[in-house]
Amino acid sequence: MKIGVISGDGIGPEVVREAKKVLDASASKNGYSIDYTEILMGGCSIDRYGVPLTDEAINAAKASDAVLMGSIGGNTSTSPWYKLPPDKRPEAGLLGIRKALNLFANLRPSVLYDELKSACPLSEKTAQKGFDLIIVRELTGGLYFGTRYTEEKDGVTTAVDTLTYSEEEIRRCAVKAFEIASKRRKKVTSVDKANVLDSSRLWRKVTEEVARDYPDVKLSHMLVDNAAMQLVKDPSQFDVVFTENMFGDILSDEAAEITGSIGMLSSASLNETKFGLYEPSGGSAPDIAGQNIANPIATILSAAMMLRFSFDRDREASDIENAVKMVLKEGYRTTDIMSEGMKRVNTDEMGTLIAERL
């Protein structure tokens, strides 16, 4: 396996180190080999090259079978990176690599483990029901990639961001959502704002067209404001949530936090081939970087997703997921998911425990 590695900024290098530890344990157990290629992106790339993403980094990613990423960016109020123009900041590198690699579908599972129900911020009644959903977010279109500008006219400053979607951008991502749903509980909830936005009305129309090719999957529609409410009211009602770029950005962080910690949530960004970029849903958490207390489980589970989606190694992926459950069942916790009576461990200790359980 040729795996590109973007360790990134903040806690990124710490959590990626533990994911590699678990991948290496899996490779040793199952008789395959891994060739890692380190790739700079984000703030560390700005520090070295003056830009968040170089052509060399893009080419190295393209030469890989898949890319494992930590997190990028820093503290927006104190980091010198955020004094730069928007196209030179760390997040511009993330948008750039998604576009360059045509990563149009982002998958973010949100699962409440039985062992972490006490950490769920929702009511006890809701938490006891549990939930297992996945958000499929369109990743290379919409408001984040539309034409934008700020201008001053007659003494008044105006900022413009353009939300644009073509039917093909919607269709290819909808197909991913329905394919995933057909292997799960066969339910897609398409989230939009069709009562206001033309782009959402097209979104709904194309999604209904794709649904006809999957008669065994039930499609329903939900407005985004209601979806945000329903996620905290009763997340167990959802199976696959399919939505556009900005809505997905917001809802997936909400879905992550209701699991008890965003440090538990993996993600995958896929193109039309087996290639994908795999990363934790959380940010770079610069306030705890270097302290060896970050939760590496989200990155480890992202590595498991990589084995499943890019390398068709479902059994090995399940082994890693089961090792995570085993460690949690044994009572080991990092600081973010710690509760009374549990055993607190550091970042590297958690990675070692999971690797050993393999």
Nearest-CA neighbor of 301 among 1, 7, 37, 23?
23
What does each C-alpha distance from 120 to 42, 255, 339 come to in angstroms? 32, 11, 11
Catalytic site includes residue 193: yes
Evaluate whether 332 touches 350 at the Cβ level (below 8 Å): yes
Dist. CA 22–CA 39, nearest whole Å: 20
Q: Which of 129, 144, 186, 218 is catalytic?
A: 144
Q: Which of 65, 132, 234, 253 is catalytic?
A: 253
Catalytic site includes residue 249: yes
Dist. CA 297–CA 15, nearest whole Å: 8
291: part of which helix (H) or strand (E)?
A: none
Catalytic site includes residue 49: no
Dist. CA 103–CA 282, nearest whole Å: 19
Dist. CA 105–CA 138, nearest whole Å: 5
Q: Which of 35, 87, 213, 225 is catalytic?
A: 225
Residue 3 CB-density burial (10 A; 0-12 exposed, 13-18 middle, 19+ buried)? buried
Catalytic site includes residue 319: no
219: part of which helix (H) or strand (E)?
A: strand 218-223
Q: Which of 20, 193, 319, 332 is catalytic?
A: 193
Q: Which of 249, 278, 319, 332 is catalytic?
A: 249
Catalytic site includes residue 144: yes
Q: Can you spell out the DSSP letters for 25-36? A: HHHHHHT---EE
Catalytic residues: 144, 193, 225, 249, 253
